[in-house]
A and B are shown apart, each in its own frame.
Chain A
Amino acid sequence: MESSRSRSWLFGIIGWLVAIVLFFPIFWVAITAFKTEQAAYSPSLIFSPTLESFHEVFARSNYVGFALNSIYIALGSTLLCFIIAIPAAYRMAFFPSAKTQSTLLWMLSTKMMPAVGVLLPIYLLFKSAGLLDSVWGLIGIYTLINLPIAIWMSYTYFREVPSAILEAARVDGAGIMSQIWHVLTPMALPGISSTALLLIILSWNEAFWSINLTSSHAAPLTVFIASYSSPEGLFWAKLSAASLLAVAPIMVMGWLTQKQLVSGLTFGAVK
């Protein structure tokens, strides 16, 4: 009894330490954003907060434009992902073939490939297709990047739906689309929404492809941040202000939906 209590104390302390270490960079970015450029170089926690950097960031770049691009790309690619992933996962979950498991593993294995390995062919493809610096181009590439995760997660949730319910729907006269739309999706809604949240976060935070494939017109917030670490040197306060502006929307969304996210991500693992 005594040892188990001290053990839980120990785990509590370790948990807090890990949380603090993980949260510290965000905290540091947040306070640096409210410092002047001179004060940004001192690690002091005592300073007079100012919105100077934010004013400069807003004056220098079109934040709203970048943010809108981020929203379009994150929502667009998530939607497109589901349009492909749900029918694919339906087939895999309810009519698996001998190759289904290996297909799933193969799809996941593509995530292990370093993105830079295919940068050149993708860049050339985008160039000849006229997709460079276009929102549609990024939606396409993010869809492809996130598709394995979308299919995997949807597959896991669909597997929890008893196949007899879909058979009942078939007898009731539901075709594939009706089964998916009226029966499967509503039943797997908690899982699908947490998958959607994850896909939105992943698309929002993706930097490699957005920086390499866009410049101004279709650039999302990741490009906006990157533009503050450029030739003239590093301006910590402005960079921090830009970073904070870029991550704030997704952090707020993550915070509001964290219960959904956690239950979605641990689904199957604990059941």
Chain B
Amino acid sequence: MSDGSVKIKNLVKTYANEHGHPAFTAVKGIDLEIKDGEFMVLVGPSGCGKTTTLRMIAGLESITSGTIEIGGKVVNDVEPKDRGIAMVFQNYALYPHMTVFENMAFGLKLAKKSKDDIRDAVTRAAKALDLDQLLHRKPQTLSGGQRQRVALGRAIVRNPKVFLFDEPLSNLDAKMRVQMRTEISRLHAVLRTTMIYVTHDQVEAMTMGDRICVMRAGVIMQVADPLTLYRQPQNVFVAGFIGSPPMNLLNGVVKRSGCGLEFVDETGAFIVPLPSRLEKFAEPFVGRKIIFGARPEHLSPTPTSDVGTQKPLTMTIELAEPLGSETILYLKSGARQIVARHIGEQHCQPGQTVALHLNMEKVHLFDAETGNVINA
């Protein structure tokens, strides 16, 4: 099996303005290694450089500086077709004047494969994707999900070393998105081919990726497997980006209180004594601004263990979203807003006051200046 590893070194993409002067740097010197057979998700808000990075890997965008290696070979100046990649585009990008069969066969035809080989490859891929009944149809007669499966089929028949996906599910409705998500994951499990998947949807990232690369403003914020990303965010951006509803992030300062330290948020309404686990990390930050992070599920009406806050936080429910398996509570304490997640059905009314215990074992502290995590 050919090597589908991808190595990106100090990759930069700068766009020039109309006078040819550098105007905007979309990717600012990123380094990333993707192992052969790995499912890597590039995720981030729009404009973070994830699609530009993918397009540079595909060869559709020129590289300003740095190198991209695929299978151990630098491909900076290699044509897309010779990179051993296949790409699935956001808006399917099927050839509208060709049938499903012709769409899938086009690449093989250009590669001058024999008619029999082409028919075999296309039929096999079509069967795997449940497209065998649609081979003679034109793309405009297909549903969104079917079109994306054709795009997937077109990629598969090329038998690439690396699959590239550019937000392939964002044009589909919610139900179809979940279905295609599992289909792509299953495809990865069967083919064990390297896949690089760009999305802005963190749920897609968390459910599909072996590892996730979180990007922001052309820079990689953290690369890790989904659970590490969730449990140990390296910075306040990742902490806020991964997880839904997002982590509660409170600006405040570390203060001494008696023999210990406590966090006081900027409104003054939210004061939590820091447990000894965090004290050694917070010690250098006494009197300085930090950001206190707590996931919604780590706020509960009953103390989970003796590591909970000594004193429960009393808050008022502003809004309750019952989702069946869980309830999302939007709470207010003074001017401070906090989101909590309760497992199971809760009968909560807006205006009701609840006492919440914070699982201090799970909270995160970030340096407000750099945004980097302190407690690690």
Contact = CB atoms under 8 A, between A and B. Distances in A.
Interface in B57-109: 58-60, 79-81, 85-87, 89-91, 93-97, 106-107
B190 interface: no
B81 A172 contact: yes
B60 A170 contact: yes
Interface in B94-128: 94-97, 106-107, 110-111
Interface string A161-199: 010110111111110001000110011010000000000
B158 to A, nearest CB: 7
A172 B89 CA distance: 13
A45 interface: no
A170 B80 contact: yes
Contact of A171 (B87, B91, B97): B87
A169 B60 CA distance: 11
A172 B91 contact: no
Given A171-B81, A173-B111, A165 B95 contact: yes
B95 A171 contact: no
Contacts of A186: 97
Given A98-B19, A173-B81, A178-B110, A168 B89 contact: yes
A167 B81 CA distance: 10
Contacts of B91: 162, 164
Contacts of B107: 171-173
Nearest to B91: A164
A171 B107 CA distance: 8
Contacts of B95: 165, 168-169, 183, 187
B106 A169 contact: yes
B97 A172 contact: no
B232 to A, nearest CB: 37
A192 to B, nearest CB: 13
B86 A171 contact: yes
B154 interface: yes
A174 B106 CA distance: 9
B169 to A, nearest CB: 15
**Chain A at the B interface: SS class:** helix
Nearest to A97: B18
B106 A172 contact: yes
A168 B110 contact: no
Size band of the B side of the interface?
A: 20 to 34
Contacts of A174: 81, 106, 110
B373 to A, nearest CB: 39
A80 to B, nearest CB: 25
Most A CB within 10 A of own CB, among B86, B87, B93, B154: B93
Contacts of B96: 165, 187
**Chain B at the A interface: SS class:** loop
A270 to B, nearest CB: 20
A167 B56 CA distance: 12
B154 A187 contact: no
A179 to B, nearest CB: 10
Contacts of B106: 169, 172, 174, 182
Contacts of A170: 59-60, 79-81
B18 A171 contact: no
Nearest to A167: B60
A172 B86 CA distance: 8
Given A98-B18, A173-B107, A178-B110, A164 B81 contact: no
Interface string A78-121: 00000000000000000000100000000000000000000000
Given A173-B107, A173-B110, A173-B111, A168 B81 contact: no
Interface string A152-168: 00000000001011011
Contacts of B93: 162, 164-165, 167-168
Contacts of A189: 97
Nearest to B18: A98
B80 A171 contact: yes
A75 B91 CA distance: 38
A210 to B, nearest CB: 38
A184 to B, nearest CB: 10
B100 to A, nearest CB: 14
A109 to B, nearest CB: 21
B129 to A, nearest CB: 17
A187 B58 contact: no
Contacts of B158: 172
A169 B151 CA distance: 12
Contacts of B110: 172-174, 178
Given A98-B19, A173-B107, A168 B97 contact: no
B201 to A, nearest CB: 19
B49 to A, nearest CB: 18
A189 B97 CA distance: 10
Nearest to B158: A172
A153 B80 CA distance: 30
Contacts of B154: 168, 172
Given A164-B89, A171-B60, A173-B110, 8 more contacts: A162-B93, A165-B96, A168-B89, A168-B94, A168-B154, A170-B60, A171-B80, A171-B86
11 contacts: A162-B91, A165-B95, A165-B96, A168-B95, A170-B79, A171-B80, A171-B85, A171-B87, A172-B81, A173-B107, A178-B110
Interface of A: 98, 162, 164-165, 167-174, 178, 182-183, 186-187, 189
* The 4 residue pairs across chains A and B that have the minimum distance between CB atoms: A172-B107, A98-B18, A173-B81, A164-B93
